[in-house]
């Protein structure tokens, strides 16, 4: 039933499969450890490329999270989506057997979907012909396989969609899931992102456009948001899913509430496929729209989890955009960019970072910007360095910016 009164939306579950840890506790333990998971890529030999670094998930076994038969029917991107969703539902202690499945839905985001698996199967085709190709290929590689397989696995029949809006995809999915609950289209939503891009052609495409770091002799320090010596992002793989739930029912069932989702903003630079608009105006517009949607004034934001991709153009442009939105309050903000921990998992990054924001609110601790040794003079805000910071924050904003000029922001509040 559509609601004409905005309903409150709680985050009651976090599921994550990342290079720094699996599950809600694994992710937070990885953040508290303060160490980068970036290393030399091992999935294949990267020596033909300028970049050799990646953030790989070290210990993922799909059959730990789903039946072996289902695991075999999914590629890695689909497996990660289902696994993160299961972990989120378990963390939320949500018994779907007691739910109206038509009021439970799934929104996912991914930049590349199953393209890495398609690349693998093309190799099989070239070597062994059509008979060597997985007959389920067509069902594995399209982006919508993320949310559709989550729906099939858990029998949820509510609103369902997967977007493919580059590196903002996970944030957009959570924003859309938030709106579905807020506006009465669903009572519970799974929202997040999944990305498994570590295959030669996928990886090489980004190497060709010189978007990735070439700090190959020191991979753990290759991703360094806002640092003057940054030279590009580090590709990673990950999935993260949140359980978003109508507030009153979450309270009634005694659910743990990490945070409340308050607002969502979206914009487009309409400028360039890879370079951000230099004046940061549309990145600022996404933040402004999220704040307006949340009915929160800029001075009420305590912490910003920045997109912080570690690329030469993105980091200073994001700084400009934040100053544009927050004016004098920008100097009082606490900020961090967390991709130094786990690289950039493209469409899953925003979901990972929203999960971290929810955890930071609940745990009253803000993560540092790993590898920020010498801040760029153009990145002159309080990007937390060194150790994390104990802090009780009320309102948090998180940004995700993607190729094509996509900008997405979310506002969270202490639950």
Asked whether 198 and 38 are in contact (CB, 8 A), the reply is no
Catalytic residues: 167, 307, 344
| Residue 41: exposure state from Cβ atoms within 10 A (0-12, 13-18, ≥19) | buried
Strands (E), 118-258: 160-163, 188-195, 238-246
Quick count: other Cβ atoms within 10 Å of Cβ 388?
Answer: 17
Q: Can you read off the two tokens belonging to residue 318?
A: 């994001």
d(CA 251, CA 267): 33
User: Are the CB atoms for 4 and 182 separated by under 8 Å?
Assistant: no
Quick one: how far is CA 226 from the chain centroid? 19
Reading phi first (left if > 0) and then psi (alpha if -120 to 50, else beta), residue 61 is in: beta
Give CA angle at 290 (252, 337), nearest 5°: 95
- With CA atoms as reference, report the closest residue to 169 among 112, 119, 84: 112
Burial 232-245 (b: 16+ CB within 10 A, else e): bbbbbbbbbbbbbb
| Beta strand extents in 255-372 (DSSP E only) | 259-268, 303-305, 334-336, 365-366
For residues 383 and 391, what is the distance between their CA atoms, to the nearest angstrom? Answer: 14
Residues present in the chain in total: 415
């Amino acid at each position: 039933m559509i609601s004409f009164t905005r309903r409150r939306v709680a985050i009651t579950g976090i599921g994550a499969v990342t290079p720094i840890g699996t599950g809600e506790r694994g992710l937070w333990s990885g953040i508290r450890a303060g160490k980068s998971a970036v290393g030399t890529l091992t999935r294949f030999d990267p020596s033909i490329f300028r970049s050799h670094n990646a953030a790989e998930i070290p210990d993922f076994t799909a059959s730990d999270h789903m039946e072996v038969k289902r695991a075999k029917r999914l590629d890695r991107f689909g497996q990660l989506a289902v696994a993160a969703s299961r972990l989120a539902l378990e963390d939320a202690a949500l018994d779907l057997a007691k739910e109206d499945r038509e009021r439970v839905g799934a929104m996912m985001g991914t930049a590349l979907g199953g393209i890495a698996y398609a690349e693998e199967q093309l190799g099989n085709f070239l070597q062994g012909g059509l008979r060597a190709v997985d007959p389920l290929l067509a069902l594995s590689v399209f982006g919508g396989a993320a949310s559709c397989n989550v729906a099939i696995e858990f029998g949820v029949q509510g609103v369902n969609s997967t977007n493919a809006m580059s590196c903002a995809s996970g944030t957009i999915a959570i924003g859309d899931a938030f709106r579905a609950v807020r506006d009465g289209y669903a009572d519970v939503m799974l929202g997040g992102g999944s990305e498994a891009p570590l295959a030669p052609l996928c990886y090489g495409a980004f190497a060709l456009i010189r978007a990735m770091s070439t700090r190959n002799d020191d991979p753990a320090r290759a991703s360094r948001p806002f640092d003057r010596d940054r030279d590009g992002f580090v590709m990673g793989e990950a999935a993260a899913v949140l359980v978003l739930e109508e507030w009153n029912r979450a309270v009634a069932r005694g659910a743990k509430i990490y945070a409340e989702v308050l607002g969502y903003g979206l914009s487009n630079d309409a400028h360039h496929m890879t370079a951000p608009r230099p004046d940061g105006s549309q990145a600022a517009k996404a933040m402004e729209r999220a704040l307006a949607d949340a009915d929160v004034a800029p001075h009420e934001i305590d912490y910003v989890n920045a997109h912080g991709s570690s690329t030469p153009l993105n980091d200073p442009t994001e700084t400009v955009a934040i100053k544009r939105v927050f004016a004098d309050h920008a100097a009082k903000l606490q900020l961090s960019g967390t991709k130094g921990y786990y690289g950039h998992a493209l469409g899953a990054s925003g979901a990972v970072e929203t999960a971290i924001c929810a955890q930071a609110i609940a745990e009253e601790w803000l993560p540092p910007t790993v590898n920020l040794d010498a801040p760029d003079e153009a990145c002159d805000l309080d990007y937390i360095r060194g150790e994390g910071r104990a802090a009780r924050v009320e309102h948090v904003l998180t940004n995700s910016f993607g190729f094509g000029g996509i900008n997405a922001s979310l506002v969270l509040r202490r639950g």
